[in-house]
Structure 1
């Protein structure tokens, strides 16, 4: 028989399987700064011994915009034979897609003794990563 784990007076929250979840105190869609998708002042730490909410209300991520264009020209050769040139361009305006990285500063809220950390307030809700690129293709199709 092995000894159990030592007991301490330190209050712990969360479990080995689930981290502590913040509690909403207001609507995080209101009172946001420029380019901020959620108001960090609406989140607080749960009471000691509680894990907080597991599902938060719907909060939108950055919108995406993708414009595609395609040009093609069909050249008749003989009888039923054709040669077609195609030039599709995807995301031809080359708009970036902003997104939140799962462990990035835009999704992290840090609390010190139940009080929201000032550094995490300034970065929370602001997407820090971007992706998206213009893609071009050329093709020739010979039909008979």
Structure 2
């Protein structure tokens, strides 16, 4: 498997206090994704045979079943497909409630479910432009999205 990545621009990051409430499970394969995200690299697996990206990253292409996968940059921008604000959170997330989660359709066609970060003065509206970012916790990164900030 190749670990070549199209050169992406680094995602913006936000320093977060404490540790992740529910850290991701790591495997030998996904470690590459999480190490990259820690550095702001937004990437996923891409089949070297059918050229299709998959998210979350997978060691086997779910489209053509090829084990010949590498790494490609993901689009850092997209449109908000849907969202909700969680007030009655599962026990592990109680301290963070209320918080927003949503689905973002990235410009390259990948659909991502993630935490949404509020921007003062902007309400979440379906089809609004979004940008991906990295939440840098003390024990590692998580990805999230927020409304595109004015230039």
Question: What TM-score, normalized by structure 1, do the two folds share?
Answer: 0.21
Q: Which has the higher contact order (CA 8 A, sep 6+)?
A: 2
Structure showing greater radius of gyration is 1
* Structure with more of its chain in strand, by fraction: 2
